[in-house]
Structure 1
Amino acid sequence: MAKKNATTGKFLSKDSSIYEIEDLEGPPGVIRTKSAKTVCPIDGKMGAAYVHTLQGEDHVGEAAHMLSYSWGYSIGDIVDTLTGFCLQNNLDPKRTYIWMCCLCVNQHRVVDNNANDQSGMTAPAKIDFFSIFGERVKKIGHLLAMMAPWKAPIYITRVWCIFEIFTAHRTGGCKVDIVMPPREKQSLEQDVLDNEGGINALYETLGNTKVENAKASEESDRLAILTKVMYPHLSHLDSVVCLPAVLFVF
């Protein structure tokens, strides 16, 4: 059942995407509203990351996994994917802590950062997303790359997602698991195992992966990632993105 958000006036449900529950170009949504009156323990200013509002081991703890995903995914699909991952690996959902950027990065500062960029002003403490995402991948050491829908994953069209899986690939000892909503996994397995068309569709999807065409919410982010990090490796980067998906199936 859809529920109206008091701040934005939007009706939200499990089918709502992260973009819909927290539009960084609009008024505070679910995430920023929850943390608006919490002092950030990092910079001491009002407005914190969502995770800093949580207490108790049933709700927060040191992350053993990092979810690499798109803000275009729905809340329901993300929950189903992580629940399925826990069940498949005999993990207690109440004690399985997963780092997600929407909840663990201070979105108040992201909005401030974007506003300064657009105005031409220099932010007092500009957010270094390369360090945030890159260091989290290395420190946590276990990346969950969420691929959905499997025939045309949004994941491989988002440059930050590709940066994360690329960083994991280059980090020794970092594990990568491909995860997806149960219905997508069932559809993939059935199509691949039951008919030749399914496996051809998979190869076509992977073959169409072009890292240089990946998008970002901020064009400056896309150009920075491609220029500073990925262009020297584009010759094999497409295969880096595709390989885990092939291994997942076979």
Structure 2
Amino acid sequence: PITTSFRRRRLLKGSGSVWAPIRAQLLLSVSEDASLPRAIAIIRQVEENRSDGNPCLDLLVKLKRGRFQAGLNAPPLRLGMEGGDWAPAPEKVTCNGPSASYKELLSTQPCVPVWYCSHWWGESIFDFVAGCRRHAEVRHLVADARYWVCGYANRQHELDQEISVQITSTSFYAALHEAKGVLLILDPKATPFSRIWCDFELYTAIMSGDMGLDIVTTIPPRQGKEAETRLLSKDLIPGESAVAKSVREQNFPINLLAQGLEVVLENGMATQEQDKEAILKAIAAEKFEPGPGKPEVPNELRANMTLHSTLAILAWPQAQ
């Protein structure tokens, strides 16, 4: 990518100066309140456009990541995506070195998550990988083993673009509703149950009705035995009998699920207090119609009861 500054030129007499990018240059959309670019593209074609009387540059670009947005102070540029319609001009455009999330460094190709990972970042990375690997094996995912992991998918130095006061506008919410299910990864202390983001993700999966829910944990090595990874699933895995499911889950640590039975969403911890406020606000705003003859229940209480009952059902076979 070219990292030099744009040249300036005049398109028409009296029209003022505009940015004049060149072909194959890297195009970024940046803002003063964010350290990383909002969008990155490679310029494929540059043409002058005077059709509407207001001279501007038409850029045909190949979008690599992010999105370009319109703004009141946008330069007189229009961006065209290959194979698509012309897009509005960005707020501000410059040439600079790119920065991205870890996922974007590995691949610029977008992909839809199949499973959404809900976990605590203090766990062992080896246990985390072991949990995902075991899950992919049991689910027979193979090439479809695409997991959304917030720490790798989000741009960590531009989290203001990923997290909003509106939960439904966050990258977390978008990924959660694209995925087929949630994979809850528990450490030996079941820490995710004390984190409000994890509880909300678990609650969302349960309430959706058609999302899968799997819980995985790695049992530390003990008394000469190697570490073991155990998987619990809310429903039968395709091709698996009820007996096979029972055998697979029989050694799952029931003490971890017991901690989930004590979850109180209002007491959940969050790194940012505004995240907790936004989650509780989103739950409180949900609309529920009580069944015939049933009293209305506050949404927070309903959410806690939903989590407790689901975990109790999952723990019941191991408790017998």
Q: Taking structure 2 as the reference length, what is the TM-score of the superposition?
A: 0.50
**1:180 aligns to 2:217 (yes or no):** yes
Q: Is the 8 A contact 2:115 2:181 kept in 1?
A: yes
The unaligned stretches of length 5 or more in structure 1 are 1-34, 114-124
Structure with bigger strand share is 2
Q: Deviations over 1:63-95 (max 9, x none)?
A: 211111111222111101011112222332x54
Structure-2 change in CA distance of 1:74 and 1:49 (3 Å): same
Report percent identity of matched pairs: 23
Q: Is the 8 A contact 1:155 1:161 kept in 2?
A: yes
Which of 121, 129, 147 is matched with 1:71 structurally?
Answer: 121
Structure-2 change in CA distance of 1:83 and 1:100 (3 Å): same
**1:241 aligns to 2:307 (yes or no):** yes
Distance (whole Å) between structure 2 residues aligned to residue 126 and residue 204 of structure 1: 33
The alignment partner of 1:143 has SS state of strand
Aligned residue type for 2:123: Y
The alignment partner of 1:41 has SS state of strand
Which of 142, 147, 150 is matched with 1:101 structurally?
Answer: 150
Structure-2 change in CA distance of 1:103 and 1:88 (3 Å): same
| Aligned-residue offset at 1:143 | 1.0
The alignment partner of 1:103 has SS state of helix
The alignment partner of 1:63 has SS state of coil
Question: Alignment length, in residue pairs?
Answer: 192
**1:42 aligns to 2:46 (yes or no):** no
Aligned residue type for 1:79: V
Aligned residue type for 1:101: C
Structure 1 stretches of 4+ with a deviation exceeding 4 A read 182-186, 201-204
Name the residue aligned to 1:171. Answer: 208
Name the residue aligned to 2:196. Answer: 159
Distance (whole Å) between structure 2 residues aligned to residue 56 and residue 221 of structure 1: 29
Which of 252, 267, 286 is matched with 1:213 structurally?
Answer: 267
The alignment partner of 2:283 has SS state of helix
The alignment partner of 1:145 has SS state of strand
Q: Is the 8 A contact 1:178 1:244 kept in 2?
A: no
Which of 186, 203, 224 is matched with 1:147 structurally?
Answer: 186
The alignment partner of 2:66 has SS state of coil
Name the residue aligned to 2:236. Answer: none
Which of 90, 98, 109 is matched with 2:140 structurally?
Answer: 90
Structure-2 change in CA distance of 1:87 and 1:136 (3 Å): same
Distance (whole Å) between structure 1 residues aligned to residue 187 and residue 177 of structure 2: 24
**1:224 aligns to 2:278 (yes or no):** yes
RMSD of aligned Cα (Å): 3.6
The unaligned stretches of length 5 or more in structure 2 are 1-35, 41-63, 69-95, 220-226, 233-245, 286-297
Q: Deviations over 1:21-54 (max 9, x none)?
A: xxxxxxxxxxxxxx99x94711468321211112
